[in-house]
Amino acid sequence: MLDATPSTHSAREALRINPAKTCQPIGAMYAALGIHGCMPHSHGSQGCCAYHRSHLTRHHKEPVMATTSSFTEGASVFGGLANMTQALNNIFTIYNPEIVAVHTTCLSEVIGDDIPMMIRKAYDEKIIPEGKVVIHANTPSFVGSHITGFAGMVTSMVKHLPSRAGEKHGKVNIIPGFVDPSDMRELKRLAREMGVPAVMFPDTSDVLDLPQTGKYVMYPHGGVTLADMKTVSHSLGTIALGGFTSTPAALELESQYGVPATLLELPIGLGTTDLFIDALHKVGGVPVADSVAWERGRLLDVMTDMHQYFYGKRVAVAGDPDHVISLVQMLLELEMRPVYVITGSSAPRFEARVQQLLEGRVPEAVVKQNADLFDMHQWIKEAPVDLIVGNSYCKHIGRAENIPTVRFGFPILDRMGHRLFPTVGYMGAMRLIEKMLDAMLDKKDRECPEEFFELVQ
């Protein structure tokens, strides 16, 4: 497998080999897990739900709970109404969640199941108990990616959960994007350091990064509560992190409830984190905390001290569009050269934004949306790089071409630090710098002649 990639690149339109993405329901399921007391529900076959749960479990190293409508041949022909009705009855009877978040699969979308009608019917027939909530998002796997699935479920949260009744309060909404629990925890910490009371949704911290207590809890204490979701319509403003994952929900909230939206890129690296801190300062009406300014100074010191190792190094980057756009900015801050930049998602705005960032700085760069890792491997064979940054599937390229590889983004299946240590904010940037530097210097130590094997590189 590792040596099967030909060195000459050829264009492909109808075939993807090792795509740098996965399907919509995985993103929707992950977003649903960020609601306290929520049971994600997959309206389709058992196999789909099992795969989606398995993929998230392998990434987070935590058990992921979800239910399924368990389609068989009958549902495939006659529709899934009976399956949905029975499923909701079982879910509330057996598992008693506060909310069920329904997402669809290929099969239920192809046969045209009317999910809103099914949910209304369940309410009318009292299958959904008083005080309980069911929301939904349409997430066929044959279009979009986990990114659009996540965005769709978060937008559904905004459409169904906020309340119009109530008064303005002093909180700020933060929509974190498709990031790990450690990143969500770090974003909340920065808000606390700034003295900004925040409502983060979704929030998978304390849901998918639990301590070992010896007891299993189906609904951990983490996640945004329904009570807090009711109040997001009365916040001072919304800070949406990630144009592809968070912007749709923030604009929906602004359109429906008049909550001003501040649209930012993920705070990965110095400049994008500066913009996030500035947004907290402006929307929250607070000064920049000294502790945050000191963190920024430490990051600047690290960047200055390590500049000699990063300058001019060629990098290949693959991942989700929001992650990659911000990471490219961080690499440019380090004066590295992102020469191959891809996302598996269909995102035309991605190419324009990355080209804007690279303009005049890396003229040889190749930027492609709706791409795959086979493309990137061929480009690397033609003109090698010094570092690869991407998810676990990039390890095959790194091994085949003997290139240092840093795990970043989703999914990471063969390492564990991503769910514990953030990559957002100033602290996260320092961790990413450490990981990249370690990977490159490890290769240098491993391969350099003995006379150059120094204690200080």
106 among known catalytic residues? yes
Helices assigned H by DSSP within 177-289:
181-194, 226-231, 247-257, 270-284
Separation CA 1–CA 378 (nearest Å): 14
Do residues 433 and 389 make contact, with C-beta atoms less than 8 angstroms apart?
no
- How far is 93 from 100, CA to CA, in rounded Å? 13
Q: Which residue in the list 64, 106, 207, 232 is annotated as catalytic?
A: 106
In the DSSP assignment, the letter for residue 177 is -
The CA distances from residue 191 to 176, 245, 284, 286, 340, in Å, are: 12, 20, 9, 10, 34
| Residue carrying the six token digits 């916040």 | 235
- To the query of whether residue 324 is one of the catalytic residues in this protein, the response is no
- Pinpoint the alpha helices (H) of 161-267: 181-194, 226-231, 247-257
How many other C-beta atoms can be found within 10 angstroms of the C-beta atom of residue 33?
A: 28
- Helix-strand-coil split of the chain, %, nearest 5: 50, 15, 40
Tokens 């064979």 found at: 381
Catalytic annotation, residues: 106, 110
